[in-house]
Structure 1
Amino acid sequence: MRSFLTPRRLAATLLLLVLMLLGIAAQQFRLFERGLFVLQEWRHAAEWKDRSIWLPDFRVSIEAKPIEGLTDDVSALTYDPDRHSLFTVTNQRPELIELSLDGHLIRRIPLVGFGDPEAIEYISKGIYVITDEREQRLIKVRVDENTTSIDASQSQQLSLAIGLSGNKGFEGLAYDPAGQRLFVAKERDPVRIYEIHGFPHTRPDKPFAVHVVDDPKRDARLFVRDLSSLQYDDRSGHLLALSDESRLVLELNADGRPISSLSLLRGMHGLQRGVPQAEGVAMDNEGNLYLVSEPNLFYVFRKQARD
């Protein structure tokens, strides 16, 4: 009896299987959408370059500098324009960490009553918001020169039960001071960027009212596998979204559409090695980008002058 699986049929079956697996991988990693975006980024460069952050123009100036003095990994990053320094958090032994703009440890402040701090955002002079990822808490804290510890129980808090998924909760924060909007990134399953109005509560003479804006259709256009950190740029009104798993920083315009990107892979933007696990991104008043990655590595990207 003739064998059903002839060499030709076997080769065709294997080829079909390989194509199916490639298709699944492309869908999983959003390769089709990412490829289309690269084409659109190139086509619309002239339109956006002068009215956006425009990430393709950035090159690394400090690469993978170890943050000395820390044993726990840092997560998230925010720039303090009053102190001209950076703040981050650790979550194994919860601490608030202040860093210089060249990645040196300035001070560390214990966080009491914080289960899993994952993000921190500067709001105004001495005021910050910290997220507790697992419990989906937003915690308003105060920090000054004399602060030696911060107790969550003594701080204003907001708990949100939005798409609870264990360790895939609130991973990034950004703040729009003019619009008084707090952007909150849900890490994945699914990726989301929420806009929260009314927190932190800064007007004691007004009632405490919170409004949450969710736009799943907008967020579906984000072809990243996760979100690790956010940064709002008040000059352009654009948002930076950092994805560790996609090794990418995306610039989103006011409508939430990706318009430019910064790849964190080896050989891109002057990187000698790829960024291993990006956890936080921040931007200073001069437009310089700062990034932290596990295991406690510090990066600076600066915009290059055009020819």
Structure 2
Amino acid sequence: MTENRVFSSKAEISRCFCKLRRLAFTASLVAAAFLPWTDFAHADNPGLTLIASFKVADKSEGFSEPSGLSLSNAEGFLWSVSDAEPGLHLLGTDGVLGNSFKLPSLAGSDLEGVASRKDGSVLVLQETDRSILVVHPTDPIQLTTIPLTSLKGYSDAAELLVGNPLNKGPEGITVDPDTGRVFVVIEGQPRLLLVLSPELTDIEEIIPLDREAGFMSDRVGDDELDLSGLAWSRSSRSLWIVSDKSRQIFVYNPKSKSVKSISLTFTEDGKQKEVKHPEGIALDETRGLLYILTDDAKKSRLYVFNIPKF
């Protein structure tokens, strides 16, 4: 399978006209990095400070149902996938779609989370098949499928997930670049965090993300609370887990088992707004930036916020 470089006429034109836009936006991000983090009156449930937002949906490129987000090894770009068709997409931090890599049909179309690794490979979650795709975006493209059921220790997770609906599977994935450990969240009943070995051979730990662990919301009941994406914070050694229905981010420390929350609300043009249908989250701690990707049909957006400080 060869790399499929997808540049529609729209993308080509956009690339020409967006050079100045990208330079201006990059300058704004650098400037934002030196802004002081907002001090909140309460350590729990701060709001967000919006820097920018961009429309990202592009049906012609198979990017109509964005899902999952991760910083890529290429500066200024993020990795994402789409439920629409099996493909891995490079998305500019200014919302402009770059290269797209078509995946073999065996990868399936129910792609959810995405995570970049130091070696250049990208991990992609396939929800229906309960598997992790290890993708090397090279020419030709290389892909390995690792079913969660093949991992040592999965039987313990299976006992907990025996009644889990098919559409309540693995939704988010991220990597701790310092240890290589991989984190996977399962949004269903029950909600679980799986901690995998760097080699993707073992499940080292299974952590219920239940109400007793601090995963709760005033907006929805426990059965409705979902988890749609996650990112790893190197500075705080914590997971940032975004929830669509509760419209919040859970900041979870897997070592201390402590959790705090951030409301997905912000002020724009003097009006209080919410981030609707969040599906992906990424952290750029070098620049102090938080990215949220939404799946909202033609209204799908990439939001850029300052990382709030607890």
With normalisation by structure 1, the TM-score equals 0.70
Indicate the residue corresponding to 2:147 in structure 1.
158
Q: What is the deviation of 1:300?
A: 0.3
Change (3 A) 1:58 1:274: closer
Indicate the residue corresponding to 2:305 in structure 1.
301
Gaps of 5+ in 2: 1-39, 218-224
What CA distance in whole angstroms lies between the structure 1 residues aligned with 2:119 and 2:271? 34
Change (3 A) 1:79 1:190: same
Change (3 A) 1:238 1:304: closer
Indicate the residue corresponding to 1:142 in structure 2.
136
Q: What is the deviation of 1:124?
A: 1.4
Indicate the residue corresponding to 1:240 in structure 2.
240
1:256-290: CA deviation from partner (whole Å, max 9, x where unpaired)? 3113x32124659x875322200000012323110
With normalisation by structure 2, the TM-score equals 0.69
Give the SS at the match of 1:167: coil
Does residue 117 (structure 1) correspond to residue 115 (structure 2)? The answer is: no
Indicate the residue corresponding to 1:176 in structure 2.
176
Does residue 92 (structure 1) correspond to residue 81 (structure 2)? The answer is: no
What CA distance in whole angstroms lies between the structure 1 residues aligned with 2:232 and 2:309? 22
Q: What is the deviation of 1:182?
A: 0.6
Q: How does 1:33-72 map to 2 (within 5 A)?
A: 45=43, 56=46, 58-63=48-53, 65-67=54-56, 69-70=58-59, 72=64
Contact 2:51 2:304 in 1 (8 A): yes
Change (3 A) 1:217 1:62: closer
Change (3 A) 1:170 1:240: same
Contact 1:198 1:211 in 2 (8 A): no
Change (3 A) 1:234 1:109: same
Indicate the residue corresponding to 2:276 in structure 1.
276
Indicate the residue corresponding to 2:216 in structure 1.
223
Give the SS at the match of 2:273: coil
Percentage of pairs with the same residue: 25
What CA distance in whole angstroms lies between the structure 1 residues aligned with 2:234 and 2:47? 19
Higher radius of gyration, 1 or 2: 1
Contact 1:89 1:118 in 2 (8 A): yes
Number of equivalent positions: 242
Does residue 186 (structure 1) correspond to residue 190 (structure 2)? The answer is: no
What CA distance in whole angstroms lies between the structure 2 residues aligned with 1:168 and 1:55? 26
1:180-215: CA deviation from partner (whole Å, max 9, x where unpaired)? 211101012121111111434xxxxxxxx4234112
Gaps of 5+ in 1: 1-40, 46-53, 201-208
Give the SS at the match of 2:46: helix
Q: What is the deviation of 1:126?
A: 1.6
RMSD of aligned C-alpha atoms? 2.9
Give the SS at the match of 2:93: coil
Indicate the residue corresponding to 2:196 in structure 1.
196
Q: What is the deviation of 1:69?
A: 3.0
Q: What is the deviation of 1:251?
A: 1.3
